[in-house]
Amino acid sequence: MILWLRRNLFRSIWDSITTIVFGGIALWFIWISIEFVFITGRWEIVEVNLKLFLVGRFPEELMWLIGASMVAIAFWVAAVAGGSPLGTEPRLRLAERIVDYVRRFGLIFALAILLVVLSNSLDSLLWVGLLGIGVFAGRVVGRMRRDNKIIQKLPGIIWQPMIATPAIALVIFTLLESTLELWGGFLINFYMALISIILCFPLGLLLALGRRSSFPVIRFICTAYIELIRGAPLFVLLLLAGVALEFFIPPTISPDAVFRGITVFTLFTAAYLAEIVRGGLQGIPSGQIEAGKALGLSTVKINSLITLPQALRSVIPAQIGQFISLFKDTTLAGVALNLFDVMTVGKVITKQDDFLGQGLIYESLIFVGLLFWVVSYVMSKESQRLEKRLGVGIR
């Protein structure tokens, strides 16, 4: 210990000085943070407005729908993840596995506990429990898909919709039961990001392939689209979507701001995704495409069976990075499209009668930041794990 200190922190006089100076600064910041979080911070603003933060003005009596949707989404994600092929890493013992899970999902779990405590209600505990059950059920189903010979025979085109159906049905049902204007808070950010991610993926792939097409017209259209979208600031596009969609569709069916947001995020992220995927495609040696041609495979099959599976694998980190940035950018929609998203909530609650003029914007914004950080961090960690598992750079 002493030896380690001497070797790494106090090797020379200069080392010692820098260690002391920067150590002091670090300690100071840590102290300020701790003081703020536990002593001076007035977190009742978050506690009182927790529901606004999470779901906005969503009607209390329909809250079960949101809970159920979340459980269904958790089930879906867990089923997809649980069905992934076995990695090459050795099988862990139970204790090691628990440590592994805590390391991977401890943050989410801690956030869940924090929210339950803040909400002061037993209902929320129940929902956390149900979420856990959803994840567990998803895992079991995913495993069955992987290990059970009969279920394996189901083609992916039937299987994938099957596990996604509960989630999609519940989200649509929620939409039908409540008007979109009532949605708000983190819920909007989460759904906008989730739906945009799902929609932009196929569009991005098509654009990437189109940009490499041998037909000049297709190539030109895709290139023009990508460069046009990438050249424009997202915020401007969102503002434009607030007013300009009327140019293209009749004002009578003027879509809700959430849909405008989703449209812009989908189109925007697809352009970036296309460039990421194109990068991956360029990394595939041309000899493989030639081998595919020589075997008589059509262009579509060469893309879907040979180049894309490899290209997508190699760009997983960049893809997830793009999705994380999309997720965080949903806060821009609150300002640009007047949505009652989590960011807007964070700002308006400081103007409530109880809290007006008390400078509570720090507490409010830190809570918003925490929500995003936890989700983004876990996504990023999981993408690294996925990358390792699929053996990028090994095969």
Partner 1 sequence: MSESVFTDATKMSGDRKAEDAIVVMRGVVKKFKDFVALKQIDFAVGRQEVVVVIGPSGSGKSTLIRCINRLEEHDQGEIIVDGTELTMDVKNIQEIRKETGMVFQSFNLFPHLTVLDNISLAPRQVRGMPKAEAEELSRELLERVKIPEQADKFPAQLSGGQQQRVAIARSLAMKPKVMLFDEPTSALDPEMINEVLDSIKQLASEGMTMVVVTHEMGFAREVADRVVFMADGEIVEVGTPTELFDSPKEPRTQKFLAQIL
**With contacts defined by CB under 8 A, how many residues of the chain interact with partner 1?**
20
Which phi and psi angles does 133 have, rounded to 5°? -65, -40
The least CB distance from residue 83 to partner 1, in Å, is 18
Residue 388 CB-density burial (10 A; 0-12 exposed, 13-18 middle, 19+ buried): middle
Is residue 250 near partner 1 by the rule CB under 8 A? no
Is residue 84 near partner 1 by the rule CB under 8 A? no
The least CB distance from residue 142 to partner 1, in Å, is 21
Residue 39 DSSP label: I
For the chain, the distance separating the N- and C-terminal CA atoms, rounded to the nearest angstrom, is: 41
Q: How far apart are CA 365 and CA 331, in angstroms?
A: 12
Closer to partner 1 at the Cβ: 219 or 313? 313
Restricted to residues 138-157, the positions that interact with partner 1 (CB under 8 A) are: none
Stretch that binds partner 1, among 49-57, 176-184, 283-291, 319-327 (CB under 8 A): 283-291
Stretch that binds partner 1, among 58-66, 180-188, 280-288, 374-382 (CB under 8 A): 280-288
Restricted to residues 224-243, the positions that interact with partner 1 (CB under 8 A) are: none
The least CB distance from residue 378 to partner 1, in Å, is 27
Closer to partner 1 at the Cβ: 48 or 297? 297
The least CB distance from residue 213 to partner 1, in Å, is 14
Is residue 285 near partner 1 by the rule CB under 8 A? yes
Count the neighbouring beta carbons within 10 Å of the beta carbon of residue 379. 14
Closer to partner 1 at the Cβ: 40 or 298? 298
CB 52 within 8 A of CB 350: no
Closer to partner 1 at the Cβ: 129 or 309? 309
Sequence-ordered list of residues with C-beta below 8 angstroms from that of 274, at least 6 positions apart, any chain: 204, 205, 207, 208, 211, 222, 226
CA-closest candidate to residue 258, choices 175, 372, 363:
175
The least CB distance from residue 175 to partner 1, in Å, is 39
CA-closest candidate to residue 330, choices 269, 255, 279, 274:
269
Handedness of CA 258, 243, 254, 205 (dihedral sign): negative
Closer to partner 1 at the Cβ: 202 or 283? 283
Tell which one of 249, 291, 356, 370 touches partner 1 (CB under 8 A).
Answer: 291
Beta-bridge mates of residue 341: 185
Tell me which amino acid residue 178 is: S
Closer to partner 1 at the Cβ: 94 or 394? 394
Restricted to residues 313-352, the positions that interact with partner 1 (CB under 8 A) are: 313
The least CB distance from residue 201 to partner 1, in Å, is 19
Sequence-ordered list of residues with C-beta below 8 angstroms from that of 194, at least 6 positions apart, any chain: 73
Count the neighbouring beta carbons within 10 Å of the beta carbon of residue 304. 14
Query: What residue has token string 């809970």?
Result: 67
Restricted to residues 292-311, the positions that interact with partner 1 (CB under 8 A) are: 292-298, 301, 305-306, 309-310
Residue 90 DSSP label: P
The least CB distance from residue 292 to partner 1, in Å, is 8
The least CB distance from residue 82 to partner 1, in Å, is 22
Binding site for partner 1 (CB under 8 A): 285, 287-288, 290-298, 301, 305-306, 309-310, 313, 394-395
